[in-house]
Amino acid sequence: MDKNELWCGTVENFDNCSGSVALIKIENDPDVSEAEKFISLTGTSLKTVVLYIKGKRSLPTLLCMGKVDLIYLDENAEFFITQNQIDDINIRFLSVLSSFINRYILTDMIYTGRIISGYDAVKLGIANSITCYPNIVNRIKKQSENLPFALKLLKKISSINNSLSEADARFVERMAFAFTFCSSDQKEGMSAFLEKRRPEFKGK
Amino acid sequence: MSKVFARQSKRIGWIYVYHDTFPNPVSFKTLHSLVRAFGGFSELDVIILTGVGKSFLSGANISDMLNFDYKDAWEFSALNELLSNTIKQCKAITIAAINGYCFGGANDIALACDMRVAGKDALFGHTGANIGILTGWGGTYLLPKAIGTKKAYELFFSKKRLTAQEALDLNLINRVFDSAHFYSEVNQFAKGCLQRVKKGRALLNAIRAI
């Protein structure tokens, strides 16, 4: 079972991740093959994956952003797709990119080379916010302590629901909601709420 | 104990949820009453859902839910789905008028409406994970559609509370009104929607199908 703790690392060593929350710092674009491996790992993982991105980043970093949960940016972060990288874009990559970038913006990036600033990325919902690295480490460290089982479930069903119709997504959510009532964390969370104390989740 | 009051003013139906315990928790009974109220007003032009007091609605009553088993949870979630479907099938434009606290499943009920407006003092949060559960009322589908997957996950993960202005910036709500004149501004807003869209119903169905 995962420990409820923060693991800090890079895209390249994500497969060694221990802990239920992973904070990945990207300062240089990874190889496209590393990005592909990262997408498949994060796409199936129950861990909460957080990216912190610095500087001017292109296609491989954009791909890494597709399946993660939270994205924080350095104030100088920018995103673009180079002309050379356009040939690398296949249907699978397009589906990853269009899962978090509005298709009109994506078309603009591909056809005109539009550069998206960090501030625009936040405004467009591509990233969560702009902050400095030490701040984000402290914030995520605090939030990753004491994570309930429900959050792992939520991550999984959010990614499934993304590709379902509303009726199917509601059915999946209802099953997951009912399932949390079989967890010890539900009893602990609600008891703690009523007793006005901090819950002690076991993650199961 | 919760009560649902409904009143009609010309072609606008108002549905008020009152609970004697802050912050307006939703029970099986409340959900049944809401289904009936929305169903009863279905043929009007606009339906406005709001709370009485300092809270719009919150999620379920925690003391009721503490001893829920799998079956109770399933039924509670299914009942909310019935409410969402009833709201969706209304021929009227549905507006959630969020006058105060809007937590947990209340967000999901608000998101089931066509539009959301809030008073300046409104506060939003999706803090189900904090009590060991997740939203079972459509939030994992509706919230990412409204504000994007990353922002939605941040709300679930961080237990963050959003002010009305922050909710507006995230597109979670459509307008923020002065709390002192909230209901009259909501009324004006509803009348404005009616004047602007004469062919309301056909267009509304098309928008809901997107």
Predicted local confidence at residue B22, as pLDDT: 67
Predicted local confidence at residue B62, as pLDDT: 84
Q: What distance in Å separates residue A197's CA from the closest CA in chain B?
A: 11
Question: For residue A148, what is the nearest residue in chain B, using CA coordinates?
Answer: B132
Q: Judged by CB atoms within 8 Å, which residues 85-144 of B form the interface with A?
A: 128-136, 138-142, 144
Domain coverage including residue B21: 2-209
Q: Which positions in chain B touch A185 (Cβ < 8 Å)? A: 132
Contact A76, A54 (CB under 8 A): yes
User: Where do the domains of chain A lie?
Assistant: 6-144, 149-194
The CATH number of the domain holding residue B171 is 3.90.226.10
Predicted local confidence at residue A112, as pLDDT: 84
Question: For residue A69, what is the nearest residue in chain B, using CA coordinates?
Answer: B150
Cα separation, A66 vs A43, in Å, equals: 9
Most confident of A178-182, A199-203, B132-136: A178-182
* Residue percentage of chain A with pLDDT more than 90: 47
Q: How confident is the model at residue B198 (pLDDT cuts 50, 70, 90)?
A: low
DSSP secondary structure of A119-132: HHHHHTTSSSEE--
Q: What are the structure tokens assigned to A59, written together?
A: 């296609």
Quickly name the fold that domain A6-144 has.
Answer: 2-enoyl-CoA Hydratase; Chain A, domain 1 (3.90.226)
The mean pLDDT value for B182-200 works out to 83
Most confident of A116-130, B8-22, B154-168: A116-130
Give the residue from A60, A48, A72 showing the smallest Cα distance to A151: A48
Is a pLDDT exceeding 80 seen at residue B178? yes
Alpha helices (runs of H) in chain B, residue ranges in sequence order: 28-40, 62-65, 70-89, 105-112, 139-147, 149-158, 164-169, 182-196, 200-209
Predicted local confidence at residue B200, as pLDDT: 59
Flag if B150 and A125 touch (Cβ within 8 Å): yes
Residue B3 corresponds to which amino acid?
A: K
Q: Which positions in chain B touch A127 (Cβ < 8 Å)? A: 150
Flag if A150 and B140 touch (Cβ within 8 Å): no
Flag if A199 and B156 touch (Cβ within 8 Å): no
Predicted local confidence at residue A2, as pLDDT: 46
**Any chain A CB within 8 A of the CB of B71?**
yes
Predicted local confidence at residue B202, as pLDDT: 66
Predicted local confidence at residue A70, as pLDDT: 93
Please tell me whether the interface predicted TM-score (ipTM) of this complex is above 0.90. Answer: no
Is a pLDDT exceeding 60 seen at residue A125? yes
pLDDT in tens, B21-33: 766 678 888 899 9
Give the residue from B81, B86, B133, B132 showing the smallest Cα distance to B108: B81
Residues in a beta bridge with A26: A53
The mean pLDDT value for A107-136 works out to 92
What average pLDDT does the structure give for chain A?
89
Flag if B130 and A199 touch (Cβ within 8 Å): yes
Q: Which of B63, B129, B135 sits opposite A194 (nearest CB)?
A: B63
Is a pLDDT exceeding 80 seen at residue A170? yes
Name the 3-class secondary structure at A201: coil
Q: Which residue has the higher pLDDT, A46 or A35?
A: A35
Cα separation, A40 vs A91, in Å, equals: 15
Q: Which positions in chain A touch B71 (Cβ < 8 Å)? A: 178
pLDDT in tens, A139-154: 888 877 778 888 888 8
Q: Judged by CB atoms within 8 Å, which residues 178-197 of A form the interface with B?
A: 178-183, 185-194
Tell me how many domains chain B contains. 1
Residue A1: burial class (beta carbons within 10 Å; 0-12, 13-18, 19+): exposed
Q: Which of B62, B138, B144 sits opposite A190 (nearest CB)?
A: B62
Predicted local confidence at residue A1, as pLDDT: 43
The DSSP element (H or E) to which A135 belongs, if any, is helix A133-144
Q: Judged by CB atoms within 8 Å, which residues 6-45 of A form the interface with B?
A: none
**Any chain A CB within 8 A of the CB of B84?**
yes
Q: Which of B72, B147, B153 sits opposite A70 (nearest CB)?
A: B153
